[in-house]
């Protein structure tokens, strides 16, 4: 199969796959225009839920060129819309946020509280 050959050539090791799902999926989609990029969660039996990116064939089959970054290839995928993916974790409250505010916090009130925490004199 051409997909497996491409993956074997371009992503031969765990190290080549780890943390590279966006980069590798984009490259593979460019090589195989029939593949659609999918975003969402991969539920690994060992690591639990992870945000991830993979590809889907016109027949609906999953092609995951970076699956070897996970300790198990026997997890499940839940596709989400890109706007459902979090932008980050708020530096103040620790919650995930889904709309870009300033890259560190989820909104104005958390931004104000975070700034106050950084400028507060020691011991106060």
Q: What is the pLDDT of residue 86?
A: 73
- Kindly state the tokens that stand for 34: 């029939």
- Residue of higher predicted confidence among 50 and 69: 69
111 touches 92 (CB < 8 A): yes
Question: Could you tell me which residue, 81 or 92, shows the higher pLDDT?
Answer: 92
pTM of the entire structure?
A: 0.66
Write down the pLDDT at residue 102: 64
Q: How far is it between the farthest Cα atoms of the chain?
A: 64
Mean pLDDT of 83-107: 75
């Amino acid at each position: 199969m051409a997909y497996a050959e491409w993956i074997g050539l371009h992503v031969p090791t765990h190290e080549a796959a780890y943390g590279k799902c966006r980069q590798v999926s984009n490259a593979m989609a460019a090589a195989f225009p029939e593949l659609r990029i999918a975003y969402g969660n991969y539920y690994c039996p060992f690591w639990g839920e992870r945000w991830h990116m993979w590809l889907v064939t016109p027949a609906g089959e999953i092609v995951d060129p970076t699956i070897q970054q996970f300790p198990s290839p026997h997890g499940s995928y839940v596709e989400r819309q890109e706007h459902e993916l979090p932008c980050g974790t708020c530096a103040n409250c620790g919650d995930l946020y889904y709309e870009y505010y300033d890259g560190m916090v989820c909104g104005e009130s958390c931004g104000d509280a975070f700034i106050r925490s950084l400028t507060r004199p020691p011991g106060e």
